[in-house]
Structure 1
């Protein structure tokens, strides 16, 4: 006990001396660190006399709990003013904050001070949870800043070192020249199990049946020296353990039935990657690219930086590879036309290998998807009918030659031959390592293991300042904003609304026991303390607006769509669906291409590349701008040295061919995000776009589609219009004030392959392209009054006159009162 208190007071003494003393003096917190220990302790615990006069406009305390009253509050960091100021996601006027390990010491002291308080009735269970101290709007109860907990932690692969940003209380995603790895903080807590009624726990995204489900709510934090209620002695030792499993490549082989050369062993890396880690208090350790940094009652977990986001998978000196099976069903007579020619198959999706574990369920899922917008009350969201026992898509466009060289088929074979070679299969395709894994972290307390947190090591997030929760809440504000009206595929539902269990195949390698149970169906839920009924609106802090700014390692910043998924997919064991990453693409950029092209299937993680490729029947939902997609060298705004966009491809542009109006665009069958990743053009940038900016773009598109002459539907999810150009006018502060879209209706039945006039190398981005005729060309513009507006105030449009080659006069759109336009 003395050691914990001494360490905590040393932290306080150091940081008060580093410039914080006058800040806390404003709140009448002026501890005398030279006073006797009991006097100093009492001064930190006694009520602050001037707290009622705190200026709630001060960002340091604007969302402080209304009943916070002391520098430190036993058992409650949220009511501890010092902890709130140091741990909150707010600016600190240039003052440096204590590090995460120093905050861990303060947390431990807060709980140590409360160890004599009676514990709640009922059994208490030691568990490791992901946790964060969040501002008011990002908590489960949304009343004041507070701790938020989950049994799921999200970490992400990258090529640069991790960097924590104290002012935002999250990990930075972008280093300027590559993605940083991101990590998560998990802690050891003594928890009680409660049902989901509001009087017992606050749940961020409640779903039907939650009142009957069991949720985990911490009551104490555990650390060396802590006393467990009913125990005769304090905790003597804590060691954190981790186990991680990545077996996507083995599953491609097992589920598809493909063969590998006899010289490769599919039971070893890279087909199966495992990490087994054990780290004591105050140390760091790792294995197979995963690292644990252990403080005392908490640790930081996440991947180590990789040399490349995606690399050729090797086993000793051999390339990991498999023999590509031939295309299955249907016969060529039934294989479609235009851009979707040949896309109907049981084991192909465009030019990727599709690996369905159940072909019957694949057909059923496809039928449901076609009916989703016809029967939205029944099929929105789509029922989860097809678990992913293996990566949904696998790259097969990198042929391994007998001499070990790799031929990128999309860069070498002409139209017709390219598709025929991929259809026939029979060649060896290289496999790729992307570092994606499932994992668990738990603690061993005096030799007894706790329950574990589920840790995902998954793909980077291209929108680190936006999250699914924001978009989901906005979609529920008006019927016209419903996700089904915006997104032909996917949607913004957050993972925190999911109620599946963690990977049931993960076992403790020390004991052989399963780490999770089939009853753990609330692991993804985000919880905070229950809000008492007496805490009505008059007790809430007087603050006008709190953006969420949640940060990205808890489940509300991840996606709950699993077709197959961005952060996580799902599988089935004995009738129970469980979360896993082994259904994600092999490697993950293979998924990114298809789902970015499907109107950003996960809209707060994936840029919307629908207009890059123009897949029939899948219009854009959140338009990316021309400069974000990249100006092709052949386009009017391009140049011979134009750089590709975020994904290594170039955006579309209008182009006349033989006197016919058309559009030149990327070819989804040729595009290879995996190859682009090896050339460092995929993931070449991250987008500093907030949730509000994504919402503004959705609203701008919806407003424009609603006023221009109808083509298919006024709903963005069903319109026939293709956005070919998208630009923005900004004010002096670089905030968007006007969006302009140029749209047309494409003729997808008459697509022609074309090659660039300027790009000379077949292996270079932008060489292989598609061209198709278009009609009904139109331009629309919407304007926002202020930088904080989410809904445009005025819309106008102009039709293109082919005879003069220019747009006609602007026509004003009608104000839509139903959406506050």
Structure 2
């Protein structure tokens, strides 16, 4: 069927649900008998004041602008998550499917199909190739150039594992992770890939980007807190889409294309563990470790066959649990925990990094389910000295697998194999869940860089909230037969449609999207070891991305990332306050009482937060002992939940970080006092951390204006708090006592604080309420 006939069917279906009346406001009749002419005529009265069209490109004059989705009014209307209301202000009664949006996008490129010679001429002698991109149409504030609503592209896609089939939400034009009536389930989150004829050119922040353009390497040396990413993008090579490729005769003039996307993924965490420690330590060697589940390619991700999703939708394979016990030759797979390995962190087996912090194997390995010679399973988490048992080793432990992995997506087109022999694959990541799906890494990084005072900036997170798209590393060079190149250091960057000349600035005051993004600016960067991907160094010294450096299985690493003060901002919840006080990891971005299960029954990790108890006529704070908490066991039992953390918007997340920083100041900890002339930043950071760790957050919750305690505080100080108001209850911890996998911490001093965006009211113990000037 010709593309125009498919577009007619789409327009006909949507017209009766409010779309015809909506688009008639712009002079476009999607039920016109000669639809092709209607779609290509100039529309002189496009009303950008209509909700959802505010950021439609001012240069857009038609319903379909050949080879330019962002200037095509029909495509914008269908693809923008902000076009949701009809002419009466009510929500439209139906929304386009992902397949329908894909069809209209193909029509944008196919209405006047160019020849290869024309595209070569436009490339102006630049390198050409068939390249695969993950792509997403976004509102203006979320785009690369931030000029108008636009397509964003990356040669890296990030899909996320789950326990339930995916759900496409037409209203938001995206996939959502939540499962109604099952707060402990996770929907798999796919990534969308397409093939393009692409050109290779140097970075150009005015023509295509990349997003968060790196200016020059010296910036990192001068100010690593504001400019944490070294490199000079104007000297780097980027692949930029020039023309979308799709099946049929309407893509390129004179050719009938048959395009195939192929996906290849691998998980080799277990194999890497045994290679790194060695057979003398673990008991396994070749040829066994070259077999599943030590290394496997099945059960990670597959192409969707749902007709409503269209082509190029990569779905992580649904499994009943996020992790499973490993099986080998029909039996539970065990390994010998190395004797006196003396490498643990908490109760995890820890495999140290090699030179330059490279990860040849998973950094953390679960080893707390002992298997006795008779096959009996012993849960070592029930032993108070579990960390000592793991450190001593010399026992058989059960291996676990997760279904994450990395690999590549390639496009094969026989009709172009000779004239365009170079094929550039996309790097595909299948990663752990994101517990803050509405708080993207890029948004947090922009706020942190541009708005947070320098003194606070240098004393919040142990690492900066870098996005994966900020990295300038090639994809996994260790995957056998992968068509990756070590010089391809821009694979995770996000670029825009290539502009030939400047465009007008459109309003940026449009709603934020509430959907999962599979582009790498919404994913975490790499460091010790990472959340979405880690890095390694191959034999010739090339640093590259690699998923096998993450925890085995991933919840083993998630526990440590969460407990270490939101070690990965915007993806890992900050569980520091849920466990016994730690002198190195004070709370940075507190979870609410509901989110850690102090109130209600939905702790995000299955671990109920602390509570005050009375022992021998003295009050203590009771915690679950950190060493004995097992996220892997909780994952098997489906105890994780993003029902509450998934509701946290980027603005609420930012408020938490800033509120916590202001609370520390109210307690007398001022960052400026530590950053003195001649004092290294790392030393100052350590001193600030030590001071903050003298206080622990016992309670953090939002309060209403009629809260009795808040009224008392306001009355006593003759002050009124405005906006969102949160109540903090913090205390200075004293001695600790460990009893049967629980920890009881002495309370030396208690402080209650009410915090709004501007003011803080504070009371120590039974003292008076005070206004704190921060």
- CA separation in 2, counterparts of 1:482 and 1:129? 39
Q: Structure 2 vs 1, CA of residues 798 and 299 (structure 1 numbering), >3 Å: closer, same or farther?
A: same
Deviation, 1:17, is 4.5
**For 1:442-521, what aligned pairs fall within 5 Å after superposition?**
442-446=410-414, 448=417, 450-478=423-451, 480=453, 484-507=457-480, 512=481, 514-521=482-489
More displaced stretch, 652-661 vs 621-630 = 652-661
Instruction: Give the CA deviation at 1:109.
Output: 1.2
Which position in structure 2 is the counterpart of 1:394?
365
Among candidates 169, 173, 189, match of residue 169 of structure 1: 173
1:617 equivalenced with 2:584 (yes/no): yes
1:239 aligns with 2:260: yes
Distance, in Å, in 2 between the alignment partners of 1:175 and 1:80 is: 34
Q: CA shift at 1:320, angstroms?
A: 1.3
Identify which range, 496-505 or 649-658, moves more after superposition: 649-658
CA–CA distance in structure 2, aligned partners of residues 482 and 30 of structure 1: 56
Q: Verify the 8 A CA contact 1:130 1:153 in the aligned structure 2.
A: yes
How many aligned positions are there?
702
1:608-647 equivalences under 5 Å are 608-613=574-579, 614-631=581-598, 643=601, 645-647=603-605
Query: Is the 1:491–1:561 Cα contact (8 Å) retained in structure 2?
Result: no
Measured after TM superposition, the shift of residue 309 of structure 1 is 0.9
Q: 1:482 to 1:41 in 2, by over 3 A?
A: farther
Distance 1:24 1:228, change over 3 A: closer
Give the match's secondary structure for 1:626. coil
Mapping 1:379-418, distance limit 5 Å: 385-411=356-382, 413=383, 415-416=384-385, 418=386
Name the residue aligned to 1:813: 772
Q: Secondary structure at the match of 2:44?
A: coil
Query: Counterparts of 1:233 and 1:390 in 2: how far apart (Å)?
Result: 50
Partner of 1:204: 211
Summarize the alignment of residues 12-161 of structure 1 with structure 2, pairs less than 5 Å apart: 12-31=11-30, 33-35=32-34, 40-51=35-46, 54-56=47-49, 58-90=50-82, 91-92=84-85, 93-116=91-114, 118-119=118-119, 120=122, 121-122=124-125, 123-161=127-165
Deviation at residue 678 of structure 1 after TM alignment: 1.9
C-alpha separation in 2, matches of 1:746 and 1:25: 66
* Correspondence for 1:356: 352
Equivalent residues of 1:629, 1:646 under 8 A apart: yes
Consecutive unaligned residues of structure 1, counting only runs of 5 or more, are 276-286, 329-344, 362-384, 632-636, 756-767, 784-791, 801-806, 817-821
Native 8 Å contact 1:664 1:769 kept in 2: yes
Alpha carbons of 1:711 and 1:437: their partners in 2 closer, same or farther (altered >3 Å)? same
- The equivalent of 1:179 in structure 2 is 186
Matched, 1:541 2:541: no
Equivalent residue number for residue 723 of structure 1: 697
Superposed, 1:587-666 pairs within 5 Å as 587-613=553-579, 614-631=581-598, 643=601, 645-658=603-616, 660-666=618-624
CA distance in 2, matches of 1:682, 1:543: 36
What TM-score do you get using the length of structure 2 for normalisation?
0.85
Instruction: Give the equivalent residue in structure 1 for 2:198.
Output: 191
- The whole-number CA distance in structure 1 between the counterparts of 2:749 and 2:703 is 25
For residues 743 and 570 of structure 1, the distance between their equivalents in structure 2, rounded to whole angstroms, comes to 38
Which deviations, in whole Å up to 9, do the C-alpha atoms of 1:89-116 show, x marking residues without a partner?
1124233222111222111111012324
- Counterpart of 1:336? none
Alignment of 1:683-762 (within 5 A): 683=641, 685-687=643-645, 688-710=647-669, 719-720=692-693, 721-730=695-704, 737-747=724-734, 750-755=735-740
1:797 and 1:678, CA in 2 relative to 1: closer, same or farther beyond 3 A? Answer: same
Aligned pairs for 1:520-535 (under 5 A) are 520-529=488-497, 534-535=502-503
The whole-number CA distance in structure 1 between the counterparts of 2:456 and 2:474 is: 25
Which among 200, 214, 217 is matched to residue 240 of structure 2? Answer: 217
Show the counterpart of 2:714. Answer: none
Preserved contact between residue 174 and residue 686 of structure 1 (Cα < 8 Å): no
Q: What's the CA shift string for 1:779-816, capped at 9, x where partnerless?
A: 21112xxxxxxxx121111111xxxxxx31111011x4
Compute the displacement of 1:233 (Å): 3.6
Q: CA deviation at 1:691?
A: 0.6
User: Displacement of 1:32 after TM fit?
Assistant: 5.2
Which deviates further from its counterpart, 15-24 or 185-194? 15-24
CA contact (8 A) 2:269 2:294 kept: yes
Query: Match for residue 290 of structure 1?
Result: 302
Distance verdict in 2 for CA 1:80–1:684, change over 3 Å: closer
Alignment partners' CA distance in 2, 1:479 and 1:145: 27
Measure, in 2, the Cα distance between the counterparts of 1:88 and 1:393: 41
Query: C-alpha displacement at 1:531, in angstroms?
Result: 5.7
